Amino acid sequence: MMFPHPDIERVLISTDEIQSRIAELGRQITADYRGETVVLVCILKGAFLFMADLCRHIDLPVNTEFMAISSYGHATKSSGVVRILKDLNESIEDRNVLIVEDIVDTGLTLSYLIDLLSARHPKSMKVCSLCSKPQCHKRVVKVDYCGFELPSEFAVGYGLDFKDYYRNLPFIGVLKPSAYEQEE
């Protein structure tokens, strides 16, 4: 799928930029965890593409776990209400956990997740997020591996959605207000 896309105002991060940054993150994670095994915890749905690409750049023994959490419903702003839709399959006790997120916006989801997963006594826990919107954070959250900082505009693509659409765009772009204004 190529730009221009009729609902996208402009591209924020191109496909090539995404892919080369993910390769860098993978190399950094590989170096930092040398000699260890890691459980990659993908936060669904948004992180599924990032997880798939990132894990192929991590040269370590990894396990893959998936957790589905929802904070937005169908609105464009975080509600602060976090629901667990699907929990992990396996215990993370005494294991190195790397949370894999697509975006940290208000930080409410991540802050909730860190509290939840810390209580399960992992050996270590870090966060890798493809994107972060620092000016939107409402909680102090540490993103150990951050791909890109985004402006506060409504971004979609590469896992980021509006009403579950646009996740399949291979780039990240700003959604035209006309694409969501009539919907809210």
> Which member of 5, 42, 96, 107 binds ligand PRP (CB under 6 A)?
107
Q: What single-letter amino acid sits at 58?
A: I
Measured at the alpha carbon of residue 87, what is the angle toward residues 106 and 93, in degrees to the nearest 5?
A: 95
**131 lies in the binding site for ligand PRP (CB under 6 A):** no
Q: Is 105 a catalytic residue?
A: yes
**104 lies in the binding site for ligand PRP (CB under 6 A):** yes
Q: Is the dihedral of CA 47, 48, 50, 52 positive or negative?
A: positive
CB of 161 to ligand PRP, least distance (A): 5
CA distance 154 to 103: 12
- Span interacting with ligand PRP, options 29-37, 41-49, 57-65, 117-125, rule CB under 6 A: 41-49
CA distance 103 to 81: 16
CA distance 131 to 116: 22
**43 lies in the binding site for ligand PRP (CB under 6 A):** yes
- Among all chains, which residue has been given the structure tokens 């590469």? 158
> Which member of 15, 28, 64, 70 binds ligand PRP (CB under 6 A)?
70
> Which member of 40, 109, 150, 169 binds ligand PRP (CB under 6 A)?
109
Contacts 24+ apart (CB under 8 A), 33-36: 33/60, 33/96, 34/60, 36/60, 36/96
**102 lies in the binding site for ligand PRP (CB under 6 A):** yes
Q: One of 7, 87, 102, 105 is an active-site residue; which one? A: 105
> Which member of 30, 78, 148, 180 binds ligand PRP (CB under 6 A)?
78
What is the binding site for ligand PRP (CB under 6 A)? 43-46, 69-72, 78, 101-110, 161
Give catalytic residue positions: 105
